[in-house]
Amino acid sequence: MKFGRLLGVGAAALFAPALLIALNSAAAQAQDLKWHRIFGLVEAGNVVGVGTANPPTSGAVTGAAPWVTTSGHADVDLKTGMAKFRVKGLVLAVGSAGALTGLGIGTNSGVTMVKGTLVCNVSGNTGAIKDSVEDDTDAVALSFQGDASFDGSLVNAVPTVCLTNPEDVAFLIRIVVPGDGFANLWIAAGGVLTVDGDD
């Protein structure tokens, strides 16, 4: 009986390192990203990501004028490419001055279509290619009150660099329509990121 117990303890001690390695490996392969909040752009023209390649597929992403939100969240499965986001109260947060003349503060200000954008390698420090890489959702309607939602898949296959360092990934909401001078500018971003089950 004592021998059996000793054997059990010995086996546990023997397999503990292997179990720890397996758990760490699973954590390293984290693939489900969740942003528990969506917040509006605070600083006009703020840039997310790095690089000079041609947007909207790679390089830095420039922000529009300030916007605010009342709530929202986003979820991207890096393994399947499935993505969803929901935002409420995404509205312009500045008055009609200068180039913004005629746009209504507290409304969608004529922005009727938006898309979600996954930005990977935000820091430019992951992998050999130093540019950030983007992958979009299809465009969805943004209501006059600033509500929008999407549930589907990303347009392209998830870039490999996204899997390499999932904590160096951002989620943005960008303007699609109107396109003249405003297309692909970001107006909101995901915040409070958790990777897989670490929440």
In this prediction, residue 54 carries a pLDDT of 56
pLDDT at 77 over 80: yes
Residue 98 three-state SS: helix
- Whether 24 has a pLDDT exceeding 50, the answer reads no
The yes-or-no verdict on residue 43 having pLDDT over 70 is yes
Q: Report CA Rg, the chain.
A: 21
Mean pLDDT for 181-187 is 93
pTM value is 0.81
Give the model confidence (pLDDT) of 129-182 as tens digits: 789 999 999 999 999 999 999 999 999 999 989 999 999 999 999 999 998 889
Q: Provide the b/e sequence for 31-58 (b: ≥16 CB within 10 Å).
A: ebbbbeebbbbeeeeeebbbbeeebbeb
Q: Say whether pLDDT at 30 is over 90.
A: no
pLDDT for 118 = 96
* pLDDT at residue 55, as a whole number: 58
HSE (side-chain half, CA atoms, 13 Å) at 141: 3
